Amino acid sequence: MSMPLTVSRFLMPPISLIGCGASKAVGDYLKKLGAKKALIVTDQGMKKFGTADSIKQCIEEAGLQAVIFAGAEPNPTDLNVADGVQAYKDNGCDSIVSLGGGSSHDCGKAVGIVSTNGGKIHDYKGIDTVPKPMPPFIAINTTAGTGSEVTPAAVITNTENHVKMVVWSINVSANVAIDDPELMVGMPPALTAATGMDALTHAVEAYVSLGHNPKADALALKAIELIAKYLRKAVANGQDMDARVGMAYAEYLAGEAFSSAGLGIAHSLAHQPGSFIGLPHGVCNAIFLPLVCEFNMNACLERYADIAKAMGEDIAGMTEREAALLGIEAIRTLSADIGIPSGLTELGMKEEDIPEMAEWALKEVCTPTNPRTTTLQDMVDLYKKAM
């Protein structure tokens, strides 16, 4: 095993609670953090289906207060963040509970950053640019994908130029992360598929990242194994609790893996159609992942062979190259089996946007840890292949 030449950074992870019913502990943990009144940052779906009210009730039963802010949109924007900060101040809140998938957590984290540091979220884009910690923060996750409940990152769309701003800092970690599979049962098949492929992209990109290390390797390979075993089942039958629990662990492990090792250009490429025309993050990642694996393969054939094995493929007697290709094929087959579209054209992406998207993708914080050196022309070519 080759060891990384850089110093690995193991950021302090949040305390994690995983399991059916884990979200009921939210009030107790807010109390332990010294909170009195929480802003629940969530989306319209969580409000409509009553999940936000149930969490509010759990908090109130612990003797605390809570206010619901349901303004986190998919691919949350700087405007959502400004509204959330206003709600936090107007209601005299002292803590935040983000409830939902990555959009709610990212929006909640950004509200937390601005409420303690002042200014606007644009001031904090980049790495280690957040001086003060967020207020006490609990992330309750209801999808099995983004890993945002455990990562030290928030991704917010700048509405002025439609580009995603990535904020990555030790001060952007939740204090407590809760993954409750009972709250994931209601996810429709398409969302289960998209978020599951996002988790797979985290695990694969972390495993081949230039920042890879033994801790992240162990987490990433286990996540890939669990996704190969459970994602089809979770999409086929959302009530299959074994599959939901398996995917909850998988997305948590993948989130921890990329918090430690970083990501690669599947994410750099995927963020742009997300911010340009609002395409779902998981679907974009699923489309780019096999293309990026083929592009990167020569940089670390042995790692792609490991991925094939973790995907459940029999690689006995194969060369590393044959095994790597088999693993990439297994990723494509999984994607097709769970109904992910095969290209961006059918989702409304325009060829004319490619030059600008490629430039932004090259500048992304995920690009430097990609195992193969990437040029602007490479980004253009990958976008063209993904159409």
Where does this chain bind Fe ion (CB under 5 A)?
198
Give the span between the Cα atoms of 6 and 262, in whole angstroms: 13
Give the span between the Cα atoms of 282 and 270, in whole angstroms: 8
Q: Which CB sits closer to Fe ion, 93 or 257? A: 257
Q: Minimal distance in Å, beta carbon 103 to Fe ion?
A: 12
Q: Which CB sits closer to Fe ion, 78 or 198? A: 198
Q: Minimal distance in Å, beta carbon 125 to Fe ion?
A: 17
Q: Which residue is nearest to Fe ion (CB)?
A: 198
199, 247 Cβ separation under 8 angstroms: yes
334, 199 Cβ separation under 8 angstroms: no
Q: Which CB sits closer to Fe ion, 30 or 257? A: 257
Distance of CA 164 to the CA centre of its chain: 14
Q: Minimal distance in Å, beta carbon 146 to Fe ion?
A: 5
Give the span between the Cα atoms of 228 and 235, in whole angstroms: 12
Q: Minimal distance in Å, beta carbon 111 to Fe ion?
A: 20
CA 238-280-215 angle, to 5 degrees, is: 75
DSSP string for 15-46: EEEESTTGGGGHHHHHHHTT-SEEEEE--HHH
Q: Minimal distance in Å, beta carbon 349 to Fe ion?
A: 18
Q: Which CB sits closer to Fe ion, 198 or 306? A: 198
- Phi first, then psi: give them for residue 301, nearest 5 degrees: -55, -40
Q: Minimal distance in Å, beta carbon 196 to Fe ion?
A: 11
Q: Which CB sits closer to Fe ion, 11 or 62? A: 11
Give the span between the Cα atoms of 223 and 227, in whole angstroms: 6
Give the span between the Cα atoms of 270 and 287, in whole angstroms: 8
Q: Which CB sits closer to Fe ion, 135 or 255? A: 255
Q: Minimal distance in Å, beta carbon 268 to Fe ion?
A: 11
Q: The sheet that has 137-141: what strands, in order across it?
A: 15-18, 176-179, 137-141, 95-100, 37-41, 65-69
Q: Which CB sits closer to Fe ion, 149 or 198? A: 198
